[in-house]
Amino acid sequence: MWETLFKMDKIEDNALKDITVKGVPLLVSRIDGKIYVTDLYCTHEQTSLSEGFIEGCSVVCSAHFASFNLKDGKVISGPEGETGTIKDLKSYNTKIENGMIMADI
């Protein structure tokens, strides 16, 4: 079901923002003018990815530097110094209608 998140102008380019919609914590990112929405928490130790940093079109977790592709939520690299695998983030379809960011939650 499509849910309205917030106005497009409420997030700067190359920025991260967290929001909870219908009880689902989300990470909204704007990269080169495009909007991506994924789960908010790193699948390693549940650190908020809004506290991380953007590297290209990925987000790097501030805790142990695991990185995820913002376009599809896929793991790019696992936590630093660990050999186990971690799960991908869930990625949500997005659209912009009348200047509002919407996600299919």
Q: What is the pLDDT of residues 22-59, one digit of tens each?
A: 999 999 999 999 999 999 999 998 999 999 999 999 99
- State residue 1's pLDDT score: 93
- State residue 85's pLDDT score: 84
- State residue 81's pLDDT score: 72
Report the CATH architecture of 2-104.
Answer: 3-layer Sandwich (2.102)
> What is the rounded CA–CA span in Å between residue 91 and residue 64?
21
| pTM tops 0.75 | yes
* pLDDT bracket for residue 76 (50, 70, 90): very high
- State residue 80's pLDDT score: 86
